[in-house]
Amino acid sequence: MMKLVLPYIKEKRKTIFVLLFCGVIIKGIAFLYGANTEDTNYALLICAVSVGIIAVTDFVKYAGKYKRLEHLKKQLAYEMGDFPEAEGLLEQTYQEIIVELHRNRKELISSMDISAKEAEEYYMMWAHQIKTPISVMNLLLQSGECDLKILSAELFKIEQYVEMVLHYLRKKQMSQDMVLNQYFLSDIVKAAIKKYSKLFILQKIKLNFEPMEITVLTDEKWLLFALEQIISNALKYTNEGSVSIYMDKNNANLLVIEDTGIGISAEDLPRVAERGFTGYNGRSNQKSTGLGLYLTKEVLGKLGHGLKLESQVGKGTKVIIDFSREFTPINE
């Protein structure tokens, strides 16, 4: 209690000074006009006693408010309690500001917790995914049958997974990293195909590519990343047959990447682009972690391009990218 006396006096110093100054003025006026000194002193004593009673009452209230605020301060890590009743507009405004700051702090902490949990889940899935080519390479080296083509393909997969995690880290600042421009779609698709050419040859998958005569307003690097993920998935789930890349015959705004792979079941199709969702075929295939299509959907969404999937189990999958919002023919 005593530790509050000096802070209280310091806060009330202006009031104390005014009261003392008024007492001196009254005493001076009484002296100038020849008022009875005893009467003046008696009146000042009554005023002093009254002010003292009011000061003690106010101090008790001040101490109570301080204790309540101290208790409230200890609760802030969990939940904000009720403030003592505000004594004025300024105090009420300060309380409202504190409540708003506390709400913003909680939202920020919640957002950070969600981001940290998502990142943890992502890295766990990514670690699981990258273990597969590492295990294959390890088995080949232990067996002594080091097929350089297979080792090269597995090393390529590791490089792609590393690139995937780098793009995941950059995704949060994607808007700052984007450079939108008009690009020939055919050139970007060819770059993605070239990157996976060794896997096409190694897996003996036929490629049907029809050049497209359009330009699109996009970011070349991020669109290339999305196309690479789609082609990677097509090769991952196609044991034999082909991968076809072409513009839709009925809609020149739609790029189609079609494979003859294992396909996706109808019940899994609506959720296949969700983070971490693998579906029945993905789980039975033991190759999927649900990262590629999730990142593809996120990236294409931020680029302003649509994404649609059509699939039949045992027949294959069509991944359709819609450029209609940004579509511009070359001849224009």
Per the structure, the complete domain to which residue 59 belongs is given by 1-84
β-partners of residue 218 are 181
Same-domain status, 80 and 177: no
Q: 3-state secondary structure string, the chain?
A: CHHHHHHHHHHCHHHHHHHHHHHHHHHHHHHHCCCCHHHHHHHHHHHHHHHHHHHHHHHHHHHHHHHHHHHHHHHCCCCCCCCCCCCCHHHHHHHHHHHHHHHHHHHHHHHHHHHHHHHHHHHHHHHHHHHHHHHHHHHHHHHCCCCHHHHHHHHHHHHHHHHHHHHHHHHHHHHHHCCCEEEEHHHHHHHHHHHCHHHHHHHCCEEEECCCCEEEEECHHHHHHHHHHHHHHHHHCCCCCEEEEEECCCCCCEEEEEECCCCCCCCCHHHCCCCCCCHHHHHHHCCCCCCHHHHHHHHHHHHCCEEEEEEECCCEEEEEEECCCCEEECCC
Q: Note the pLDDT tens digit of each residue in 107-133.
A: 888 888 887 887 787 777 778 778 888
pLDDT at 140 over 60: yes
User: Mean of the per-residue pLDDT values for the chain?
Assistant: 82
Same-domain status, 193 and 326: yes
- Has residue 106 been placed in a domain? no
pLDDT at 327 over 60: no
pLDDT at 306 over 50: yes
Q: What pLDDT shows up at residue 290?
A: 62
Question: How far is it between the farthest Cα atoms of the chain?
Answer: 121
Looking at 39, 59, 84, the residue that finishes a domain is: 84
pLDDT-based confidence at 138, cuts 50/70/90?
confident
Q: What pLDDT shows up at residue 174?
A: 78
What distances in angstroms separate CA 177 from CA 170, 214, 221, 299, one per listed residue? Answer: 8, 24, 10, 12
Same-domain status, 74 and 214: no
If one counts the domains in the chain, the total is 2
Q: What pLDDT shows up at residue 332?
A: 36
pLDDT-based confidence at 329, cuts 50/70/90?
very low
Looking at 32, 61, 84, the residue that finishes a domain is: 84
- Has residue 157 been placed in a domain? no
Indicate which CATH number applies to the domain containing 259: 3.30.565.10
Looking at 69, 84, 99, the residue that finishes a domain is: 84
pLDDT-based confidence at 191, cuts 50/70/90?
very high
Q: Note the pLDDT tens digit of each residue in 252-265.
A: 889 999 999 998 88
**What's the pTM?**
0.63
